[in-house]
Structure 1
């Protein structure tokens, strides 16, 4: 593809083009992801494999927020805010162990 000559555009026009291009990139990215998901679903279905057998499940929760028992954390990945705040205030991670 030949480079575009953008020298004739003013700043507002360039910003408008930039916005339109970003929107189109996002739209196409979503479409490609969805098409890939559909191909994966079809392959799994043709092989007789349930999708949940292909997707790893998260680990079991190891820590629970005593103030809200619905909030748990597996100990993997980024710490939830309630853990980070408790640790910053001097509490121990062991206090939240299930």
Structure 2
């Protein structure tokens, strides 16, 4: 991939995708670790909850569905109150699918 040959729109799209991938990286690694730990505990006749003192898993936040057009560090799951950057983008004529990850 030659970044010097990409136009600004292509670079911004790439930036958006990379930002979302970085944000989701920790979640993927955590899920892999949890699966391995659950398998080890099951192999020994236990559940992971036996060691954590709680339920099998705890509630997690929803995965991001929308990303800020200029700052990929700002995301929104589409649940709850709309962030101001999302409202501003919609008011300026963008559609929700324009901001989708």
Q: TM-score range by the shorter chain?
A: 0.3 to 0.5
- The structure with higher relative contact order (CA 8 Å, sep 6+) is 2
- Structure number with the higher strand fraction is 1
**Greater C-alpha radius of gyration:** 1
